[in-house]
Amino acid sequence: MGYWDTRRVLVTGGAGFLGGAVVEKLRARGCREVIVPRSREYNLVEGEAVRRLYREAHPDLVIHLAARVGGIGANRDNPARFLYENLMMGVQVIDEAYRAGVQKCVAIGTVCAYPKFTAVPFNEQALWDGYPEETNAPYGLAKKMLLVQCQAYRLQYGFNAIYLLPANLYGPWDSFDLHVSHVIPAVIRKCVEAVREGRRRVDMWGTGSATREFLYVDDAAEGILLAAERYNKPAPVNLGTGAEISIAELVRMIANLSGFSGEIHWDASKPDGQPRRCLDVSRAEKEFGFRASVSLDEGLRRTVEWYRQQGG
């Protein structure tokens, strides 16, 4: 009998971008009881809704993916909302999991939790070496408190809660809404639309000099499930590829895949965000055998093609 065969798994955010990939992989692994709460029925910011969810769902294992997320612009415009909603969701989902007798909780953090100036590659021990980059610090700190909570509940109550730090995610089914999207879907949309409309220029935020690491959504889902199956320690774990790319180079790759050959105009009045991001991914491979399998070029190709097929 497999690990997932008899487990009831609650996936908060299971109808979202990453959640959809996690749910699909859970079912492929033989998990027959996957509970995906919808926000219209259970507002996880509200304590009573979280308690009602646990009373009705009776999960054995919780994967907490629900989050209020967005790119630099959305973080800059909604710092209080991003802090409050992410903090309240996480605190209550983990606390009520413990109180309900859940066997294990997998909490998903964010690379935004790392200090603004962190030595590359980011090692998990560097999490507390400084303050996060200002534009997404409220979000990053709210998510970092989940690590504190997981470790505190393990220490005091013996609660098996683990914490994972994925790199920037991308892939099909991401949000391509320019008001809230992250960099890859935003650039794909701009380039594809420019080609379709015959425009010879696209505008990009910042200078293009910042670097990022990107993890294909299916790889992230695989890493999360491997950790759920095999990892039971308090230390946080990065999930990524260990590969760094500048935003300028990323935009050129997407432009080529989209067939856009016009001018790329950089608006230096807009923020770049954190100067560099690249993760040390050795702990994930050592502890639970995770290694990303989809290259950035292949992942971008799949994502551009998917967006075109959706009529983008």
| Catalytic residue set | 139
**279: three-class secondary structure by DSSP:** strand
Non-local (6+) Cβ contacts of 124 within 8 A are 165, 235, 236, 237, 238, 280, 283
How does strand 168-170 pair with strand 161-166? unpaired
CA distance 31 to 24: 10
- C-alpha to C-alpha distances, 164 to 227, 234, 284, nearest whole angstrom: 8, 10, 9
What span, in angstroms and rounded, lies between the C-alpha atoms of 213 and 244? 5
- Helices within 10-168 (DSSP H only): 17-28, 47-57, 72-77, 79-99, 137-157
Output b/e per residue, 269-302; b: 16+ Cβ within 10 A.
Answer: eebbbbebbbbbbebbeebbebebebebeebbeb
